[in-house]
Structure 1
Amino acid sequence: MSASPSISGRHALVTGGGSGVGRSIALALANAGIDVTICGRRESELAKVTGENARIHAIAADVTNEAAMASLHEIAEAARGPFDIVVANAGMSGSAPAHKTTLADWQRTLDVNLTGAFLTVKPALAGMAARKTGRIVFIASTAGLKGYAYVAPYVAAKHGVVGLMRALAAEVAKSGVTINAVCPGFVETEMLEETIQRIVEKTGRLAAEARSSLASTNPQGRFIQPQEVADAVLWLCGDAAASITGQTISISGGETW
């Protein structure tokens, strides 16, 4: 997928931009001529990404903190203009049987993945609608389209993200703002390695066996690469995707559709 040259000069926000998919998205947007503000909680990781492209700027912020996210929007827009693109990517996952999932674990997972996504885009909605232009992309998951065992809070949160996306897309459709969700399968990132390590610790299986089991959920028998997700986001941000809104884009080798 390729983006329209017309996106050059715009301003984008990417949450969770210090590593993994967020890093790849930030770099793809910056390489397309977009000024990118990334946020996350780990300043050292954010600094590494800003060092990779001069168009990328970092602000440390917690997506679950409404005041922090409102402040991020205010500071970044004062420096580089209103956000034309918002990518709600920050997320986390854990695993446990549902009957062993604590309320604290449940709430934390929803706070980061669902409430954090809402707080990321909320400050941008009115301005985008008034300007009659804008692109919002939620990084959801195939877990927002189907169920997986032992990750009930994550599945519930990602289904919530898909529902949030559809509601917002319907709300602003006449304004010209598009809102979509990209839903990857297992992506080869640090989060995947953490998942594999949890499987090893809880089951005693070898890491290679755990990797093979997860990869087999993709009919292509492989993990999705972060750049594949970034390419989809870049396309959704371009003029060629002006009529694409309220959609879930599954990047899963045919696992979901």
Structure 2
Amino acid sequence: MSLTFEDRRMTILNQLEMEGKVQVHHLSELLAVSTETVRRDLDRLEKEGKLRKVYGGAVKMRMELVEPPFLKRAQMMRPEKMAIGKLAASLVQDGETIMLDNGTTTIEMMPHLKDRTNVTIITHSIPILNLALETFRGRIIFAGGEVNAEYKAVSGILTDQTLDQFKVNKAFVSVGGISLADGITDFHLGEAVISRKMMQRAEEAIVLTDHTKFGMATFARVSKLEDISMLITDAGCPKEWIDTIEALGIEVLISE
């Protein structure tokens, strides 16, 4: 019995969600239909705004090609980010040194670390630095460098060299997107370089992300999925993603 368009549609969109792209010949074998049928399905889905056709297949629609400013991002998915930040902070043990990148999810760890006098925080994020100066009672190390007023962070060779001086227990990094094909990505090359360096200098690399980032690939690659130790997300994360990431040997924690 042949599959209906709705059945094929669901399979194509599921593949697109996980992989970020699909290929005509692979879908033809998977769905047991002709390549012409697949192309017609892709045409129809493109008209629905579900994907964008490319040579040999299709890719996921990228709803935002430019990352919103920090203050705007801080208000997006705020309850989910707060819950993720709280769970992430609970993993920090007394005596540990941690790195925090310039993320609107990583900053949500700070309210839950403020009384931790025996914890050291290393960051290049100006908002995290400002909040730490107001509320955090532990040690603060700022990885200085060239200030980018738009991103509200420092980056460049000085920041990179500063981070190279440390070996820390945990690095908590945020992401622009997560996909099976492209791994962990960010909107900005400079931010991606710093997040990658933090992961390299840590015993555990922990990604913090809300569920809207899954299946997305943004401009600059941070790392392969296999390079991270743990991923913390919210309950909106699809089960297929959780199963796939755990199958790679990565621990997944879901915030309440």
Shorter-chain TM range is 0.3 to 0.5
By relative contact order (CA 8 Å, sep 6+), the higher-ranking structure is 1
Structure in which a larger fraction of residues adopt helix: 1
TM-score norm. by structure 1 comes to 0.42
Higher alpha-carbon Rg: 2
TM-score norm. by structure 2 comes to 0.42
